[in-house]
Homo-oligomer: A and B are copies of this chain.
Amino acid sequence: MDLKLYLQTNQSLVDKALSALLPGPEEPPQRLNQAIRHSLLGGGKRLRPILILACADAVGTQREQLLAFACGMECLHTYSLIHDDLPAMDDDDLRRGRPTCHKQFDEATAILAGDALLTFAFDLASRPIQGISADTLLMAVRQLAHDAGIFGMVGGQMMDLLAEHRKVDLGELRGIHRLKTGALIRCACECGARLGGGTSDQIETLKNYGAAIGLAFQITDDLLDVTGDSQVMGKATGKDEINAKSTYPSLMGIEGARHLAQEQINLALSHLESFSSAADPLRDLARYITERTH
């Protein structure tokens, strides 16, 4: 299969659905809706929603029906970027090649745009889906809230802040990233498998696949901060070194980090062994995680 085409097709599917589901830029309050659209519709790999669709495909379902839920996942991811970029947090000026939300608008608007997207994620995720029981959907909504919050992404972000300017070891670093970036990627795979009608075994296996690619994704992020081109990436690079931040390359060296990422991809692929060719997009996505340049 042609992964580039697969990604383009699905990014465009998600982009169109997001634009249609969001309030228009002229709807009041205009400034809020424009800030939301600025951050949400300004590019982005759409990795998490695509993982939901691809995991659902791997266990066999109609993908159109899951688009609202998948868009909710992207809203969650984008809110986390908006808040992480705030002056009190990472203080970043550039994101996805455009000014960050608080730079383009202002801090108060960026805080509210993040809050609005986080809330809207649950509005989208809790919409009835034809052919999926309310019990199953409710379980997925609860999973989303769990993995995005204290026990997942937000908890990981707090741990990451607390770890700044001090040396952490590899075990602690993995613990932080298992929550900060890992939880939502794993959650996307688990929810996709669940909403796609997978068996408990399939859900568990795709969750493990998600955990492995999530770690590989973070390692690659750290590597790109050292070796990447800020023009291609659309955000600042070299920030980890400036902030004296412990990262996989700083703890293991560039080669060591590349090796660990590859190990995780192999692990992810091994989780897919029992799946048919319907999981081919997941196989290619796993390889893409470490090969990406942004």
Main secondary structure of the interface of A (DSSP, over half): helix
Within 8 A of B (CB), among A125-149: 126-128, 133-135, 137-138, 141-142, 144-146, 148-149
Q: Which stretch of A12-20, A49-57, A152-160 is in the interface?
A: A152-160
Is A282 among interface residues, defined by CB-CB distance under 8 A? no
Is A229 among interface residues, defined by CB-CB distance under 8 A? no
Is A123 among interface residues, defined by CB-CB distance under 8 A? yes
By size class, the interface of chain A is 35 or more
Please pick, from B28, B149, B162, the residue contacting A159 in the complex, using a CB distance under 8 A. B28
Q: Which stretch of A108-116, A200-208, A245-253 is in the interface?
A: A108-116
Find the residue from A29, A36, A135 having the highest chain B CB count within 10 A.
Answer: A29
Please pick, from B31, B36, B106, B135, the residue contacting A134 in the complex, using a CB distance under 8 A. B135
B155 near A29 (CB under 8 angstroms)?
Answer: yes
B149 near A120 (CB under 8 angstroms)?
Answer: yes
B126 near A108 (CB under 8 angstroms)?
Answer: no
Please pick, from B107, B116, B127, B158, the residue contacting A149 in the complex, using a CB distance under 8 A. B116
Is A244 among interface residues, defined by CB-CB distance under 8 A? no
Is A88 among interface residues, defined by CB-CB distance under 8 A? yes
Contacts of A135 in B (CB 8 A): 128, 134
User: Would you give the 0/1 interface string for A18-33, flagging 1 where the beta carbon is closer than 8 Å to chain B?
Assistant: 0000010000110111
B142 near A126 (CB under 8 angstroms)?
Answer: yes
Please pick, from B31, B79, B107, the residue contacting A158 in the complex, using a CB distance under 8 A. B31
Can you list the 7 inter-chain pairs with the closest CB atoms, starting with the nearest? A119-B149, A134-B134, A88-B107, A123-B145, A122-B145, A32-B158, A29-B158
Q: List 30 A-B contacts (CB under 8 A).
A: A23-B150, A29-B158, A31-B162, A32-B154, A32-B155, A32-B158, A79-B115, A88-B106, A88-B107, A88-B108, A89-B111, A112-B157, A115-B115, A116-B155, A116-B158, A118-B118, A118-B119, A119-B149, A119-B150, A120-B145, A120-B150, A122-B144, A123-B145, A126-B126, A126-B141, A126-B145, A127-B142, A128-B138, A133-B134, A141-B141
